[in-house]
């Protein structure tokens, strides 16, 4: 099955757009906000919550940020109006981080203020290494301005991540809030691990470090070794389903959050594992993207992560084993 997945990636450039659209339906909620709302409503029975991403990233002019600002404002309104258990994910470059840092800060600050009024958490997605430090600095600035309802993503494959964890936890203390993932961006081997086992080991190390330092940890991985390691680590420090966070260095529980941790999955990936974790009492969250840039998102996900292509192949050939 892994071979089939890699074959899909190999032939991606030859695939007609309609076929990529067919594939993307599993992993993208749709092109519009109403599509995203419908998917979330349909998944309520799964006892999961969501983090919603408006597709699109680096912009070419600061004026292009207005689209994302408007869309995220409408998304925040819809989450409240439909009483959805959801927060939002934002790519900083979509707000102009690489064009005008001050304007990007202003754009994000306004969104955080609106989200905070409804107790909605905001996650800053982590993009490629050009913006790793600027994104972390943006988190610092927002916390300095009094917005505690924002956290970032760290990519475990980067060599710098252990130091970033220490620095962020030192600076933000109990307000440190991470999503930790292996990392979707394929970085060169002088800044990141490239071997699968090294990346898994780095991810597990990062999770343990975050837990030890009292941070909130959103474990974003579909890998069984990472999930199993996380469950073991959580149990060792007497955290877990139905238990209060016992860590003396952790913060108070946030609205819509778990007791110090949660598990996150991409929409359409390992739904059965997500439902199992949920039935065992763990908070699970689905990363739910939508928007007109579905084609670019789908191509990048499939091209840069053959594992996702493997899930595509499994859904195609063995649909009964891989429910959304």
pLDDT digit string, tens, across residues 79-91: 999 999 999 999 9
Tokens describing residue 130? 């050009």
Q: What's the first-to-final CA gap in the chain, in angstroms?
A: 18
Burial (CB count <10 Å: 0-12, 13-18, 19+), residue 295: middle
E strand or H helix at 51 = strand 49-54
Query: φ, ψ for residue 192 (rounded to 5)?
Result: -150, 155
246 within 8 A of 237, measured Cβ to Cβ: yes
Residue 236 three-state SS: helix
pLDDT exceeds 70 at position 20: no
23 within 8 A of 16, measured Cβ to Cβ: no
pLDDT exceeds 90 at position 173: yes
Confidence of residue 112 (pLDDT cuts 50, 70, 90): very high
Nearest Cα residue to 285 out of 28, 39, 86, 42: 86
Extract the runs of DSSP E, i.e. beta strands, from 173-260.
177-181, 216-220
pLDDT exceeds 60 at position 313: no
Residue 53 three-state SS: strand
pLDDT at res. 323? 59
Nearest Cα residue to 70 out of 107, 30, 99: 107
pLDDT at res. 26? 75
Arithmetic mean of pLDDT, 164-175: 98
pLDDT exceeds 50 at position 29: yes
pLDDT exceeds 90 at position 21: no
Query: Which residue intervals of the chain bear CATH 3.20.20.220?
Result: 29-290
Q: Is 179 a catalytic residue?
A: yes
Across the chain, mean pLDDT equals 89
Domain 29-290 sits in CATH at 3.20.20.220
Confidence of residue 97 (pLDDT cuts 50, 70, 90): very high
pLDDT at res. 157? 96
Instruction: Give CA–CA dist 74/96, Å, rounded.
Output: 19
282 within 8 A of 246, measured Cβ to Cβ: no
Least confident of 41-45, 168-172, 207-211, 283-287: 41-45
Arithmetic mean of pLDDT, 210-229: 97
Find the catalytic residue in 179, 274, 285, 324.
179
Find the catalytic residue in 53, 125, 164, 245.
125
pLDDT exceeds 60 at position 3: no
Arithmetic mean of pLDDT, 284-297: 83
Question: Please, which residues have CB within 8 angstroms of residue 288's CB and are 6 or more apart in sequence?
Answer: 29, 36, 39, 40, 50, 51, 52, 53, 86, 267
pLDDT at res. 77? 98
pLDDT exceeds 60 at position 61: yes
State pLDDT tens for residues 269-282.
Answer: 889 999 999 999 99
pLDDT at res. 1? 47
pLDDT exceeds 60 at position 316: no
Task: Identify the bridge partners of residue 192 per DSSP, sorted by sequence position.
Answer: 158
- Name the residue with higher pLDDT: 184 or 153: 153
Highest mean pLDDT among 21-30, 202-211, 283-292 belongs to: 202-211
Least confident of 7-11, 120-124, 231-235: 7-11
Instruction: Give CA–CA dist 10/115, Å, rounded.
Output: 41
Confidence of residue 213 (pLDDT cuts 50, 70, 90): very high
Q: Is 274 a catalytic residue?
A: no
pLDDT exceeds 60 at position 161: yes
């Amino acid at each position: 099955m892994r071979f089939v997945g890699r074959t899909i990636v190999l032939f991606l450039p030859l695939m007609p757009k309609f076929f990529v659209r067919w594939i993307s339906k599993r992993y993208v909620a749709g092109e519009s906000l109403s599509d995203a709302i419908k998917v979330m409503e349909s998944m309520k029975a799964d006892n999961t919550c969501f983090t919603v991403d408006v597709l699109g990233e680096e912009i070419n002019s600061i004026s292009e940020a207005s689209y994302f600002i408007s869309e995220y404002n409408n998304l925040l309104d819809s989450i409240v109006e439909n009483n959805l258990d959801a927060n939002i994910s934002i790519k900083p470059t979509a707000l102009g981080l690489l064009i005008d840092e001050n304007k990007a800060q202003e754009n994000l600050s306004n969104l955080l203020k609106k989200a905070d009024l409804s107790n909605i958490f905001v996650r800053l997605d982590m993009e490629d290494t050009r913006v790793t430090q600027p994104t972390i600095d943006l988190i610092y600035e927002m916390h300095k301005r009094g917005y505690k309802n924002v956290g970032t993503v760290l990519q475990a494959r980067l060599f710098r991540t252990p130091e970033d964890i220490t620095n962020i936890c030192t600076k933000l203390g109990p307000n440190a809030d991470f999503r930790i993932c292996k990392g979707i961006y394929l970085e060169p081997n002088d800044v990141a691990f490239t071997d699968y086992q090294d990346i898994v080991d780095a991810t597990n190390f990062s999770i343990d470090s975050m837990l030890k330092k009292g941070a909130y940890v959103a474990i974003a991985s579909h890998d069984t070794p990472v999930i199993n390691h996380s469950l073991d680590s959580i149990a060792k420090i007497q955290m877990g389903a139905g238990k209060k966070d016992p860590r003396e260095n952790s913060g108070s529980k946030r609205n819509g959050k778990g007791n110090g941790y949660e598990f996150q999955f991409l929409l359409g990936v390992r739904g059965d594992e997500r439902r199992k974790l949920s039935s065992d009492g763990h908070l699970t969250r689905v990363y739910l993207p939508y928007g007109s840039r579905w084609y670019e998102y789908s191509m990048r996900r499939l091209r840069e992560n053959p594992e996702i292509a493997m899930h595509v192949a499994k859904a195609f050939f063995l649909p009964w084993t891989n429910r959304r």
